[in-house]
Amino acid sequence: MSDCLFCQIVAKEIPAEIVYETGRTLAFRDRNPQAPTHVLVIPKQHHRDAAELAGADDGLADDVLKTAHAVAVQEGVAEDGYRVVFNTGPGAGQTVFHVHAHVLGGRGLTWPPG
């Protein structure tokens, strides 16, 4: 989708600090981090939200989660713990409508989230 910010990042039309990439996923630092580690993990293929991703291609949601874990390991937060968040829909705070997982870590993460 030409007007999708994250599709433009996948196409390398917009710069991002990419930290991890596979054939089907891309991970880059959030521009407004909410924790010392705050990385967004996206499928390279456009899907609007987590609900659409769940019904998509065989194994793509799994690939996103595997990439999220790989990022946590690479960033050094896997051992102490990290959070993976999918905001799905405007009421949940989704502002970019290309599904993305937030990988958060490096500080205490309280519950319930804000």
Higher pLDDT among residues 113 and 101, named by residue: 101
Cα–Cα distance measured from residue 63 to residue 27, given in angstroms and rounded to the nearest whole number: 12
Domains in the chain: ranges and CATH: 5-105 (3.30.428.10)
Tell me: the pLDDT tens digits for 7-63? 999 999 999 999 999 999 999 999 999 999 999 999 999 999 999 999 987 899 999
Active-site residue numbers?
Answer: 100
pTM attached to this predicted model: 0.95
Q: Examine residue 90 and say whether the peptide bond preceding it is cis (omega within 30 degrees of 0).
A: no
* Sequence letter at residue 108: G
* Sequence letter at residue 89: G
